[in-house]
A and B are shown apart, each in its own frame.
Chain A
Amino acid sequence: MLSRAEIENIATLARIGLAEKDVEKYQHDLSGILDYFKKLDEVDVTGIEPIGHITGMTNTFRSDKQVDFGDLGKQAMLRNIPEEREGYIKVKSVL
């Protein structure tokens, strides 16, 4: 069973706010699923290369060119910003 501290640490890493009642629920849910993952312990993977790309594609290249979305494109993107000031994204202070 994952400890309370472990759940709090994962939530901080994942940037998900936790309510007090959630901690126990996650302890229970996550531990159950992690136990299920243990099934993989029985598989011998000596000498097996991990999958990189499933159909075996390697590098894909394109020219290093900037794409301009134009004024309309910029407006469409700015429309989705929760809080904007003078074309910048406004957020709460970092510290």
Chain B
Amino acid sequence: MIKELHQKLINKEITATQLTQDYFDVILKKDGEIGAYLTLTKELALEQAQLVDEKIARGQEIGMLEGIPGAIKDMLCVEGYRTTAGSKILDNYLAPYDATVIKKLKEGGAIILGKTNQDEFAMGSSTENSAYQLTRNPIDLSRVPGGSSGGSAAAVAGGEAVWSLGTDTGGSIRQPASFCGVVGLKPTYGRVSRYGAIAMASSLDQIGPFTKTVEDAAIVLSAIAGEDPLDATSAKSSDKKFEDYLTGEIAGKVIGVPKEYVEKLEGEILEVFEKSVEKFKALGAKIETISLPHTQYALPVYYILMTSEVSSNLAKFDGVKFGMRADDLLDSGVSDNELPKNLLETYLDTRKIGFGDEVKRRIMLGTYALSAGYYDAYYLKAQKVRALIRRDFEKAYEKVDLIYCPTCPEVAFKFGEKTTDPLKMYLSDIFTISVNLAGVPAISFPIGFLEIEGKKLPIGGQLIGKWFDEEGILNAADAFERNRE
């Protein structure tokens, strides 16, 4: 889709300004229903589009993403614009600088249409934890778009952006991509700089794209990847054009299917998955059943490490240097005589009022896991089991080139279906979190549908690659996409 639009821009069939305006028109028409966006960055978008048009008019060459409109999860800082992370505590926060990915996109001439809705601080699997609004799944408005990057997934699925960025800590890009029937990519840990992404769990977070096609995901990844001195965990990597690796050819590749994942599948999702495995076979890949024996421990490991990192990362939201402060919160139902009288009360009240339930629950859990006397039993133990989970993947990759499984054990669920039981909501991430724990890259792409109440609800397949082998998973997903009926 991006290549076609790029061609139209250079052939002067459309201007970047017109293209941008067209997307704002779609947003105006559809977003009241979908609710993908929290903030529109119209001024910035039209300014960027103008620059691209001037360049084209001067006969200058433009980059592949130049003039192409996209959307940004509200977890990422865009200078001068409100950046809330879906939380009331950052309601009035104006980002004083650009995240590295935003800087790169701006330098590459990409158009930023706005900031998208998400679960508060990326904690959730349905975007229902946003402090601001619900986002509806464009395929079926009675269902959630997934989460936490639900707004970014819905924006692309609903035609309100060509591409978008999300963040993925335990599946927050891949699961909503699966639910909304689009492509979502979580790069290798360190592939993309996290500078300017509001941190949730620093050892797990990665930024990645949502797009309509695999090729588009490769194009956006090329634009945002690379080493960054401002993120000490970003990996040394050569500047690659990932889209150049899409040959459509996967004959001879060995794809491992983990039995621990398939065991959890049933009914029509299993059927669709098995059909997709046959497709890979028909394309010349060799399928092998593999074992990732520590899979059953991934969820508890994840929830110990993630909540611990959350409790530390979110300590900075204390009402002092930025964001909401309860001292002034006359309009939040706090009466004058209940306002904080000293600094400690400022902290307690600001965090009590500013954070939502799920965020507080996770901070409390992480604080407990890290507190004196429990550190060894929880955090240290979890870091050791994490090493075993990584070892599972290392062993698997001695025999196979890629790992393949569904993205989720389910399709998009209805609003309110899981909000009462946190553990039930956490189980939605069961196929995606091992990937973050191991730090490997993975892509979710549509492989079929489940028809419920006359709606075709998308099912996502997930290809998991070796560390820094994004081109391998992109190429295999692209081969699948080219041969979709």
Q: Interface of A with B (CB < 8 Å)?
A: 7, 10-11, 13-19, 26, 29-30, 32-34, 36-37, 39-40, 43, 45, 48-51, 53-55, 57, 60, 62, 69, 73, 76-77, 79-83, 89, 91-95
Inter-subunit contact B387/A48 (CB<8 Å) = yes
Contact of A92 among B189, B327, B387 (CB under 8 A): B327
Inter-subunit contact A50/B386 (CB<8 Å) = yes
Of B156-164, B359-367, B409-417, the one touching chain A: B359-367
Bound form: Cα–Cα A73–B371 in Å:
37
Q: Give the contacts of B397-447 with A (CB-CB under 8 A).
A: 422-423, 437-439
Bound form: Cα–Cα A33–B364 in Å:
12
Inter-subunit contact B351/A15 (CB<8 Å) = yes
Q: Known contacts A17-B351, A73-B97, A92-B340; is A51 also within 8 Å of B387 by CB?
A: yes
B290 contacts across to A, CB distance below 8 A: none
Contact of A33 among B311, B340, B383, B422 (CB under 8 A): B422
Inter-subunit contact A57/B96 (CB<8 Å) = no
Q: Known contacts A40-B381, A43-B297, A48-B388; is A55 also within 8 Å of B343 by CB?
A: no
Can you spell out 27 A-B residue pairs with CB atoms less than 8 angstroms apart?
A11-B364, A15-B348, A16-B348, A16-B355, A17-B345, A36-B300, A37-B378, A40-B300, A40-B382, A45-B385, A50-B380, A51-B383, A54-B189, A55-B189, A55-B235, A60-B233, A62-B232, A73-B97, A76-B94, A77-B96, A79-B96, A89-B320, A92-B345, A92-B346, A93-B342, A94-B342, A94-B343
Inter-subunit contact A18/B361 (CB<8 Å) = no
Contact of A43 among B367, B371, B388 (CB under 8 A): B388
Q: Known contacts A45-B384, A55-B235, A92-B342; is A80 also within 8 Å of B94 by CB?
A: yes
Q: Given A55-B190, A60-B233, A81-B322, output 19 extra A-B contacts at Cβ < 8 Å.
A: A15-B315, A15-B347, A17-B351, A29-B361, A30-B365, A32-B422, A34-B365, A40-B304, A43-B297, A45-B384, A54-B189, A54-B439, A55-B188, A77-B96, A82-B320, A82-B323, A83-B325, A91-B343, A92-B342
Question: Chain A nearest CB: distance from B77 CB in Å?
Answer: 11
Inter-subunit contact B351/A16 (CB<8 Å) = yes
Contact of B352 among A18, A32, A34, A43 (CB under 8 A): A18
Question: Chain B nearest CB: distance from A33 CB in Å?
Answer: 6
Is B291 part of the contact surface with A, judged by Cβ < 8 Å? no
Contact of A26 among B294, B340, B364, B439 (CB under 8 A): B364
Contact of A62 among B190, B203, B229, B378 (CB under 8 A): B229
Is B478 part of the contact surface with A, judged by Cβ < 8 Å? no
Bound form: Cα–Cα A26–B300 in Å:
18
Inter-subunit contact A17/B349 (CB<8 Å) = yes
Q: Interface of B with A (CB < 8 Å)?
A: 79-80, 92-94, 96-97, 188-190, 203, 229, 232-233, 235, 294, 296-297, 299-301, 303-304, 311, 315, 318-325, 327-328, 340-349, 351-353, 355, 360-361, 363-365, 367-368, 371, 378, 380-388, 390, 422-423, 437-439, 467-468
A15 contacts across to B, CB distance below 8 A: 315, 318, 344, 347-348, 351
Contact of B371 among A10, A53, A55, A82 (CB under 8 A): A10
Bound form: Cα–Cα A11–B363 in Å:
9
Inter-subunit contact B303/A33 (CB<8 Å) = yes
Inter-subunit contact A45/B381 (CB<8 Å) = yes
Question: Chain B nearest CB: distance from A38 CB in Å?
Answer: 8
Inter-subunit contact B94/A36 (CB<8 Å) = no
Question: Chain A nearest CB: distance from B460 CB in Å?
Answer: 24
Question: Chain A nearest CB: distance from B317 CB in Å?
Answer: 10
B311 contacts across to A, CB distance below 8 A: 14
Question: Chain B nearest CB: distance from A2 CB in Å?
Answer: 8
Bound form: Cα–Cα A10–B363 in Å:
9
B235 contacts across to A, CB distance below 8 A: 55, 57
B340 contacts across to A, CB distance below 8 A: 92
B327 contacts across to A, CB distance below 8 A: 82-83, 92
B80 contacts across to A, CB distance below 8 A: 76
Inter-subunit contact A79/B346 (CB<8 Å) = no
Inter-subunit contact B233/A53 (CB<8 Å) = yes
Q: Known contacts A14-B363, A45-B381; is A76 also within 8 Å of B96 by CB?
A: yes
Inter-subunit contact A16/B361 (CB<8 Å) = no
Question: Chain A nearest CB: distance from B5 CB in Å?
Answer: 33
